[in-house]
């Protein structure tokens, strides 16, 4: 493999777990929460790289999913293999934090199906599997400003709808992902037979409409990710637009279009070697132009889109050049693989861009963050004061450039184009079964 495409040294390594780390989430690029297979939750200050608190034995078994967001206060939602979802109140106190268990409700974690928690400016939904034998979903509207005022759960039974497996029993749902189409909630369901279904739930009648379904693979679907396409996010009239991915950032002089006007890109993967890239139309149906990435080794725990349209001022030094006229310019897909690697693909070319070779166990989850300026960090309501005595990681962990990409980046900075670009500000977080979390500069 070309060494320029291989990253071996993250910027920082988080060590605070005594078991494999399953899941992570980030709030406002400032707070990091992680959970492991022994049922513990750790809250970190992402700016200071400092542990704020640990919830020991938050669950009696492995934690499958976690989210951190704000209602009238900060809330952590976690799902464990002990068949419970729990909501925690998080209170920051200087360089520490305190947590309080607010509520607990049952869920079915038999087939490791993690909940999907959709949090955006206009939408807040929690979708979980509560009965794996009947494929029954629980849908909760989180749009209230208080955890105490959350709406009554809606239970919708999908049953054995799949027509692909030929089995006499109900095919188990292995993954679930909530997304928005025309301001309405849709849910993607991935099954053990390799099929994917798009449903539109009706919470008022506890029913659903099957929008589309398709058999993509012969292997179970473990992970699903969505992002939105929009050509208005692409600069096509700048003289430097053909040189770097920086040219794909949205034009701040034009209003950012709503999601209603955007088509959807879906990615899915699982226990096999194939990753599928699917276009979904404005009605939530699959389009015909499905593409496939074939991996050398089988197994993907997680995949996550990096879409430059989701960032205010995206800037990166390590991702490759792109074609500004392409609607998928500025969209990348990161794969967390069983073979211990993180692979990032350029969706516009379907080519592998970077491979991270640091962890020594399967990658469990990936998250992208945008690092703000020091002034923005100082004025943020969530960040703590900078600790000048914070210890740095060792030399390998403190290397902010990936291997020999340092030389390539230095040449860019010295060029006339490089002087016009912003400093790289997109970072990637990953957690692994080797007990560690890694932070990477892109």
Q: Which residue has the higher pLDDT, 108 or 19?
A: 19
pLDDT in tens, 90-142: 999 989 999 999 999 888 887 789 999 999 888 899 999 999 888 999 999 98
Residue 144's pLDDT band (cuts 50, 70, 90): confident
Domain that holds residue 83: 3-384+395-441
pLDDT in tens, 314-343: 777 777 544 444 556 789 999 999 999 999
Residue at 344 is within a domain: yes
Q: Which residue has the higher pLDDT, 348 or 361?
A: 361
pLDDT in tens, 31-41: 999 999 999 99
Residue at 389 is within a domain: no
Residue at 390 is within a domain: no
Cβ neighbours of 436 (radius 10 Å): 21
157 close to 135: Cβ distance less than 8 angstroms: yes
Q: Which residues pair with 428 in a beta bridge?
A: 368, 440
Spatial neighbors of 364 by CB under 8 A, at least 6 apart, are: 20, 21, 22, 23, 301, 302, 336, 431, 432, 433
Q: What is the pLDDT of residue 402?
A: 47
Position 178 pLDDT exceeds 90: yes
pLDDT in tens, 362-394: 999 999 998 765 434 434 444 443 332 233 333
Q: Which two tokens stand for residue 437?
A: 């979390």
Burial of 214 (0-12, 13-18, 19+ CB in 10 A): middle
Structural domain total, the chain: 1
pTM of model > 0.75: yes
CATH of the domain at 421: 2.130.10.10
Residue at 23 is within a domain: yes
Residue 308's pLDDT band (cuts 50, 70, 90): confident
Mean pLDDT of the chain: 80
How far CA 13 is from CA of 31, 282, 308, 371, in Å, comes to: 16, 41, 25, 17
Q: How far apart are CA 387 and CA 384, in angstroms?
A: 9
Residue at 425 is within a domain: yes
Per-residue pLDDT, averaged over 265-284, amounts to: 95
């Amino acid at each position: 493999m070309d060494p320029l495409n291989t990253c071996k040294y993250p910027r920082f390594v988080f060590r605070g777990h005594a078991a494999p780390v399953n899941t992570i989430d980030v709030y406002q690029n400032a707070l990091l929460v992680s959970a492991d297979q022994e049922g513990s939750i750790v809250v970190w200050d992402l700016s200071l790289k400092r542990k704020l608190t640990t919830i020991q034995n938050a669950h009696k078994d492995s934690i499958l999913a976690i989210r951190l967001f704000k209602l009238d206060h900060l809330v952590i939602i976690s799902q464990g293999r002990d068949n419970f979802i729990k909501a925690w109140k998080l209170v920051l106190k200087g360089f520490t934090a305190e947590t309080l268990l607010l509520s607990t409700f049952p869920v079915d974690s038999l087939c490791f199906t993690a909940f999907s928690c959709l949090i955006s400016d206009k939408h807040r939904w929690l979708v979980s599997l509560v009965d794996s034998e009947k494929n029954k979903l629980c849908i909760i509207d989180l749009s209230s400003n208080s955890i105490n005022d959350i709406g009554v759960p809606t239970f919708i039974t999908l049953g054995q709808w799949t027509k692909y497996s030929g089995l006499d029993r109900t095919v188990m749902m292995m993954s679930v992902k909530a997304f928005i189409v025309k301001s309405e909630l849709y849910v993607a369901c991935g099954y053990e037979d390799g099929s994917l279904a798009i449903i539109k739930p009706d919470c008022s009648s506890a029913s659903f409409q099957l929008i589309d379904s398709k058999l993509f693979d012969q292997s179970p679907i473990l992970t699903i990710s969505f992002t939105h396409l929009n050509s208005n996010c692409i600069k096509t009239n700048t003289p430097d637009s053909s040189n770097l991915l920086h040219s794909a950032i949205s034009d701040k002089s034009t209003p950012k279009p709503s999601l209603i006007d955007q088509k959807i890109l879906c990615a899915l993967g699982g226990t096999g070697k194939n990753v599928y890239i699917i276009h979904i139309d404005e009605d939530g149906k699959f389009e015909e132009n499905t593409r496939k990435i074939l991996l050398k080794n089988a197994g993907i725990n997680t995949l996550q889109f990096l879409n430059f349209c989701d960032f205010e001022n995206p800037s990166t030094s390590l991702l490759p050049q792109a074609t500004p006229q392409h609607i998928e310019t500025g969209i990348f897909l990161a794969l967390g693989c069983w073979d211990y690697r993180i692979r990032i693909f350029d969706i516009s070319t379907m080519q592998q861009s970077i491979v991270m070779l640091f962890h020594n166990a399967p990658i469990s989850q990936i998250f992208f963050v945008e690092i703000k300026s020091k002034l923005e960090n100082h004025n943020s309501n969530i960040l703590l004061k900078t600790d000048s005595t914070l210890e740095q990681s060792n030399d390998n962990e403190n290397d902010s450039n990936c291997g020999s990409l340092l030389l390539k980046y230095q040449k860019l900075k010295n060029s006339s184009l490089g002087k016009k670009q912003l400093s790289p500000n997109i970072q990637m977080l990953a957690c692994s079964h080797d007990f560690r979390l890694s932070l990477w500069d892109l």
